[in-house]
């Protein structure tokens, strides 16, 4: 890749706009690096924690490439990386990929999922029709990462990263533990009794909320 605003390194020598987009964001790990920064800026090690398969050298390279492409910005004084407006515009791309991937067999929900990835997955997999008028606010705490998810009047789920999540309830756990609670067939009490997750607040509202999310494929 080249300097911000210039033509990216050519991987696909085509005039197709999809190929052009892949020249910018198509390197291995690049889109997932953007995913980890989608809800909040992070330090290098926090990004890497959400991508356990990536090496420090590859992450450094990808961050540099994405910065040159105008997708990522680096605040050297604070030591954090964040997305530019161009990077944030990838959010609907991630949502579309979640929908697309959910239609293909072979997905294993037992594999590692970062807290940020789970939050994005949930916004893609909410039952918007059932969520209309639910008027619930959920808090999620996973280590140092906190999130609040609200249900819009349309039924869409809207999430933001916050330091101290609040709401009708707050679920505590790592990404996979929370994913089991949200997407698994067992009720919340099953995971609470086993200490897999923690709960602060209203249990009934928490159950009503997570019942709005599913990984079922259409058809």
Give the pLDDT band (50/70/90) at residue 181: very high
SS3 of residue 206 by DSSP: helix
- Residue 7 is given by DSSP the state P
**What pLDDT sits at residue 6?**
56
**106-210: CATH class:** alpha beta
Q: How many beta carbons lie within 10 A of that of residue 47, not counting itself?
A: 24
User: Can you give the pLDDT at residue 109?
Assistant: 87
**What is the pLDDT at residue 2?**
46
7 — pLDDT class (breaks 50, 70, 90): low
Please determine, for residue 217, whether its predicted confidence score (pLDDT) is greater than 70: no
Count of H-run helices and E-run strands, the chain? 11, 8
Residue 212: per-residue pLDDT: 97
> How confident is the model over 170-189, as a mean pLDDT?
97
Q: How far, CA to CA in Å, does 44 sit from each of 70, 72, 144, 178, 200?
A: 18, 12, 15, 24, 30
Could you tell me the two tokens for 161? 């990263």
Q: Which residues contact 63 (CB under 8 A, 6 or more apart)?
A: 33, 44, 47, 72, 74, 81
**pTM metric for this prediction:** 0.93
What mean pLDDT do residues 88-108 have?
Answer: 95
Domain locations in the chain? 17-88, 106-210
Average predicted confidence (pLDDT) for the chain = 94
What pLDDT score was predicted for residue 11?
Answer: 83
Exposed / middle / buried, residue 21 (Cβ in 10 Å: 0-12, 13-18, 19+) = middle
Which one of 2.30.300.10, 3.30.360.10, 1.10.10.10, 1.25.40.10 gives the CATH number of domain 17-88?
1.10.10.10
Give 123-160 pLDDT, tens digit per residue.
Answer: 999 999 999 988 899 999 999 999 999 998 899 999 99
Distance in angstroms (rounded) separating the CA atoms of residues 214 and 216: 6
Sheet arrangement for strand 169-172: 157-161, 145-151, 137-142, 169-172, 198-201
Sequence-separated (6 or more) residues with CB below 8 Å from residue 166: 137, 139, 148
């Amino acid at each position: 890749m080249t300097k911000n605003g210039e033509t990216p390194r050519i991987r696909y020598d085509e005039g197709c706009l999809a190929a052009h987009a892949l020249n910018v964001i198509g390197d291995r790990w690049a889109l997932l690096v953007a995913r980890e920064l989608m809800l909040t800026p992070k330090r290098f090690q926090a990004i890497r924690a959400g991508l356990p398969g990536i090496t420090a050298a590859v992450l450094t390279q990808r961050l540099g490439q994405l910065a040159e492409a105008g997708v990522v910005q680096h605040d050297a004084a604070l030591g954090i990386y964040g997305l530019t407006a161009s990077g944030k515009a990838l959010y609907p791309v991630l949502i579309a990929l979640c929908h697309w991937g959910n239609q293909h067999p072979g997905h294993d929900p037992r594999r590692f999922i970062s807290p940020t990835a789970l939050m994005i997955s949930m916004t893609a997999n909410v039952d918007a029709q059932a969520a209309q008028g639910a008027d619930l606010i959920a808090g999620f705490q996973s280590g140092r990462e906190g999130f609040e998810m609200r249900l819009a009047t349309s039924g869409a789920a809207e999430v933001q990263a916050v330091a101290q999540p609040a709401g009708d309830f707050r679920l505590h756990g790592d990404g996979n533990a929370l994913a089991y609670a949200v997407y698994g067939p067992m009720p919340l009490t099953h995971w609470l009794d086993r200490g897999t997750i923690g709960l602060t607040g209203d249990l009934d509202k928490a159950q009503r909320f997570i019942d709005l999310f599913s990984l079922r494929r259409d058809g």
